[in-house]
Amino acid sequence: MKLSLRTGLTFGLTSATITTLGLMVGLEAGTQSRLAVLGGVLTIAVADAFSDALGIHISEESKNSDSSHVWESTLSTFISKLVFASTFAVPLLLYNLETAVIINICWGLLILSILSYFIAKDKKENPVRVVVEHFIIGVLVIIISTLVGEFIRAEFG
């Protein structure tokens, strides 16, 4: 896979996972509203996809990359972030909020683990170490975002 496409894909998938999981569990803990969580997930899928794509675009331009590389990274970031973040809406449409959040946590951590495994294998690193490291970061985001949501509900709810 071309470096520009891999850059956008790996960044988009990682960002979609971490951002969407954090937002989703925080909103669920803070509001316990399916509508708020679904609205947040879909908003992240669109707005953050544009934001991350522009961030990659500017980052790649600052490296004096050729124009095709810049646009390939930009578009692959946008598409991967938009599509993958949108997948978190499916369980929210099909199941009750608590079940959907559990499914989405499992889904997000699975994708993060699979992506980490392939990155480690590609770099000839120990896949277990890389997967565990990224998994722990994902779990920390979930825990901290849940605590923030619970704090907001307790203080302002």
Output the average pLDDT for the chain. Answer: 95
Tokens 């990682």, residue?
14
CA distance 49 to 43: 9
More confident residue, 54 or 157: 54
Identify the sign of the CA torsion 8, 135, 124, 63. positive
Six-digit token string for 117: 């495994």
54-68 pLDDT per residue, tens: 999 999 889 876 788
82 within 8 A of 19, measured Cβ to Cβ: no
| Model confidence, pTM | 0.93
Average pLDDT over residues 23-42: 98
What is the reported pLDDT for 157?
83
Contact criterion met (CB below 8 Å) for 85 and 44:
yes
